[in-house]
C-alpha cells in the first residue's frame, strides 16, 4: 500500500460517519461521470485529440493579428469586442468544412479546386494567397525582432530578423513532421500569455461583457478598414488551405499514403474528433482576440493612447498601466505566435501552389523528395525577409495584405461551400443545411467587407 493510500485511510477513519458517507456518494458520482477513470486521463484524451485545428486556430493570432486587435482596442475601446464573439462560429464552421474536405477526399483544398473548377480560378486564388502570405511573413518577422529588442534594446534588428528566418526555415525543412507537428501544438499554448496578461490588469468586467454582446458599429472609412482587417485576420485564406492539407498529413501519418486509401469511407469517430479539434482551436483564437482588445481598450484607449503601429509598441504601451509581468507575457506571446504562424503562412502557400501544379508536396517528405514544395517555402520566407529592408511601411503593408485577403477570401469561400455541399464529392459527409447557410453568410460578409475596404482606401 502506498503512502498516499495509507494517509487516505487514516483520514477517512477520523471522519464523522455522515461526512464519510457523503464523501463516498460524491466519489461514486464523479466515477460515473468519468468512465475513463479520472480527470487526468480525460484531459489527456482531449489533448491527444487536438491537432491541426488547434495549431490552425492559434496561428490565426500572429503578430500582424495582434497589431490589428491592439489597434482596435486602442482606437475604439470596447466598441468592437463583439467582433470576437461574432466571428467565432463563422470561422469555426468554415474551418470545419475545410477539415471535412481534407478528411473525406484525402486531398488538399487546392487539389480539390483543381479537380472541380476552372484552373484560372485556382491560379488567381493561389497568386493572391502567395502575395498576402509573403507580406504577412515579413511583418511577423519584423514584429518578432522588435519584441526581442524589448528584452534587450542592444540586439541588432538585422541579426534578429535573419536569425528568425533561418530558425523557422530549419524547423520546416529539417524537422520530421511528427516532431514538428508536436512543437506547433505545444507552441499554441503561448497564446494563453495574452489571457494571463489581461487578467493581471484591473478591468471593469461588467462593461467588458456588455460590449461583448451588444454590437457597436461606426459607419465611416476608418471603421470599414478595421472591420475588414479583423475579418481578414480571423477568416483568412491561408487558414483554409493549411487546415485541409494538415488533415491529409495526419492521415498519411496513420499509414494512408495514397489518395485512394485516404478517400475510403470516413469513420464517424474521426469526424467527431476533427470537430472537437477545430472548434477548440477557433475558440482559443477568438478568446485571445477578445482579451487583447479588452486589455488595449481598458488600458490604452482610456489613457489617450490611440495609435498602435506594431505588436511591440502595444506591449510597451501597456507596461505603465499593466505592470512588468503583463508586459513580459505580451512580448513573449509576440515571439511565440510568430514562430507558430510563419510556418503556417509559408506552408499554406506551398501546399496551394504544389497542388495547383501537381508537384510532390507534404511536410512528411524530406527536401530531396519535394524540392519544389520546399522551394516555395524558401522563396516565401526570403520575400518576407526582404520586405523588412525595402523601407516599406509595415502598417501599410498589412493593409495591402488585408485587401489581398479580402479579394481572395470570398472567392475561396465560395469554392469551399460548393465542394463541401456536393454529395458526389463528400458522400454522407456533405454539409447540413444550417452549415451551408452559414457558409453563404460568411461569403456575403467577407465580400461586403472587401468592397467596403477598397472603397475606404480610395482617396
CB of 74 closer than 8 Å to CB of 306: yes
pLDDT over 70 at 19, yes or no: no
CATH code: domain 56-457 is 1.20.1740.10
- Radius of gyration of the CA atoms of the chain, in A: 23
Q: Point out the least confidently predicted range of 17-31, 87-101, 123-137, 180-194.
A: 17-31
Q: Point out the least confidently predicted range of 12-26, 67-81, 111-125, 276-290.
A: 12-26
- The three state secondary structure string of the chain is CCHHHHHHHHHHHHCCHHHHHHHHHHHHHHHHHCCCCCHHHHHHHHHHHCCHHHHHHHHCCCHHHHHHHHHHHHHHCCCCCHHHHHHHHHHHHHHHHHHHHHHHHCCCHHHHHHHHCCHHHHHHHHHHHHHHHHHHHHHHHHHHHHHHHHHCCCCCHHHHHHHHHHHHHHHHHHCCHHHHHHHHHHHHHHHHHHHHHHHCCCCCHHHHHHHHHCCCCCCCHHHHHHHHHHHHHHCCHHHHHHHHHHHHHHHHHCCCCCHHHHCCCCCHHHHHHHHHHHHHHHHHHHHHHHHHHHHHHHHCHHHCCCCCCCHHHHHHHHHHHHHHHHHHHHHHHHHHHHHHHHHHHHHHHHHHHHHHCCCCCCCCCCCCCCHHHHHHHHHHHHHHHHHCCCCCCHHHHHHHHHHHHHHHHHHHHHHHHHHHCCHHHHHHHCCCHHHHHHHHHHHHHHHHHHHHHHHHHCC
pLDDT over 90 at 382, yes or no: yes
CA angle 12, 17, 23 (to 5 degrees): 60
- Joined together, the cell numbers standing for residue 56 give 490552425
**CA separation for the pair 291, 4 (Å, rounded):** 40
**CA separation for the pair 70, 74 (Å, rounded):** 6
Quick one: which of 285, 310, 402 has its CA closest to 74? Answer: 310
| Mean pLDDT for the stretch of residues 120-128 | 88
Quick one: which of 182, 235, 264 has its CA closest to 405? Answer: 235
How far is residue 18 CA from its own chain's centroid? 51
CB of 211 closer than 8 Å to CB of 78: yes
Within 8 A by CB and 6+ apart from 173, the residues are 367, 374, 377, 378
pTM over 0.85: no
Which of 75-89, 228-242, 292-306 is the most confident on average?
Answer: 75-89
| Mean pLDDT for the stretch of residues 244-265 | 80
Predicted local confidence at residue 31, as pLDDT: 45
Predicted local confidence at residue 14, as pLDDT: 46
Quick one: which of 419, 363, 408, 379 has its CA closest to 111? Answer: 419
Quick one: which of 91, 97, 74, 122 has its CA closest to 304? Answer: 74
Q: Is 214 exposed, middle or buried (0-12, 13-18, 19+ CB in 10 A)?
A: exposed
CB of 243 closer than 8 Å to CB of 92: no
Mean pLDDT of the chain: 81
First to last CA, the chain: 79
| Mean pLDDT for the stretch of residues 377-382 | 94
pLDDT over 90 at 100, yes or no: yes
How far is residue 140 CA from its own chain's centroid? 14
Predicted local confidence at residue 70, as pLDDT: 85
- Joined together, the cell numbers standing for residue 106 give 484525402
Higher pLDDT: 197 or 238? It is 238
Quick one: which of 221, 236, 285 has its CA closest to 75? Answer: 221
Predicted local confidence at residue 457, as pLDDT: 66
Amino acid at each position: 500500500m502506498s503512502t498516499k493510500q495509507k494517509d487516505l485511510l487514516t483520514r477517512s477513519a477520523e471522519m464523522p460517519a455522515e461526512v464519510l458517507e457523503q464523501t463516498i456518494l460524491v466519489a461514486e458520482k464523479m466515477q460515473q461521470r468519468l468512465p475513463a477513470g479520472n480527470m487526468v486521463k480525460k484531459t489527456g484524451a482531449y489533448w491527444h485529440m487536438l491537432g491541426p485545428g488547434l495549431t490552425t486556430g492559434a496561428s490565426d493570432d500572429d503578430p500582424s493579428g495582434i497589431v490589428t486587435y491592439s489597434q482596435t482596442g486602442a482606437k475604439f475601446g470596447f466598441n468592437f469586442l463583439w467582433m470576437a464573439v461574432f466571428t467565432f462560429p463563422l470561422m469555426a464552421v468554415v474551418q470545419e468544412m475545410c477539415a471535412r474536405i481534407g478528411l473525406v477526399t484525402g486531398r488538399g483544398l487546392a487539389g480539390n479546386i483543381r479537380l472541380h473548377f476552372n484552373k484560372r480560378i485556382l491560379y488567381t486564388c493561389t497568386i493572391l494567397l502567395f502575395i498576402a502570405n509573403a507580406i504577412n511573413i515579413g511583418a511577423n518577422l519584423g514584429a518578432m525582432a522588435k519584441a526581442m529588442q524589448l528584452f534587450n534594446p542592444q540586439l541588432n534588428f538585422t541579426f534578429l530578423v535573419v536569425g528568425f528566418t533561418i530558425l523557422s526555415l530549419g524547423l520546416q525543412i529539417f524537422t520530421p513532421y511528427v516532431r514538428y507537428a508536436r512543437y506547433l501544438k505545444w507552441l499554441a499554448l503561448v497564446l494563453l500569455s495574452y489571457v494571463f496578461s489581461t487578467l493581471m490588469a484591473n478591468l471593469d468586467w461588467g462593461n467588458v461583457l456588455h460590449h461583448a454582446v451588444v454590437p457597436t458599429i461606426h459607419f465611416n472609412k476608418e471603421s470599414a478598414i478595421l472591420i475588414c482587417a479583423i475579418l481578414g485576420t480571423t477568416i483568412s485564406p491561408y487558414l483554409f488551405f493549411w487546415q485541409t492539407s494538415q488533415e491529409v498529413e495526419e492521415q498519411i501519418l496513420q499509414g494512408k499514403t495514397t489518395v485512394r486509401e485516404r478517400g475510403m469511407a470516413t469513420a464517424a469517430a474521426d469526424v467527431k474528433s476533427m470537430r472537437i479539434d477545430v472548434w477548440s482551436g477557433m475558440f482559443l483564437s477568438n478568446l485571445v482576440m477578445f482579451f487583447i482588445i479588452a486589455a488595449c481598450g481598458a488600458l490604452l484607449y482610456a489613457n489617450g493612447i490611440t495609435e498602435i503601429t506594431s505588436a511591440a509598441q502595444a506591449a510597451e504601451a501597456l507596461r505603465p498601466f499593466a505592470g512588468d509581468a503583463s508586459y513580459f507575457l505580451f512580448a513573449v506571446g509576440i515571439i511565440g505566435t510568430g514562430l507558430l504562424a510563419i510556418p503556417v503562412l509559408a506552408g499554406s502557400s506551398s501546399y496551394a501552389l504544389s497542388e495547383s501544379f501537381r508537384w510532390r508536396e507534404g511536410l512528411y517528405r524530406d527536401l530531396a523528395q519535394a524540392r519544389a514544395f520546399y522551394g516555395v517555402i524558401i522563396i516565401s520566407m526570403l520575400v518576407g525577409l526582404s520586405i523588412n529592408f525595402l523601407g516599406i511601411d509595415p502598417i501599410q503593408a498589412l493593409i495591402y495584405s488585408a485587401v489581398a485577403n479580402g479579394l481572395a477570401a470570398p472567392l475561396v469561400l465560395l469554392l469551399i461551400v460548393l465542394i463541401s455541399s456536393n454529395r458526389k464529392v463528400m458522400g454522407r459527409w456533405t454539409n447540413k443545411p444550417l452549415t451551408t447557410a452559414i457558409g453563404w453568410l460568411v461569403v456575403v460578409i467577407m465580400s461586403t467587407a472587401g468592397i467596403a475596404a477598397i472603397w475606404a482606401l480610395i482617396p
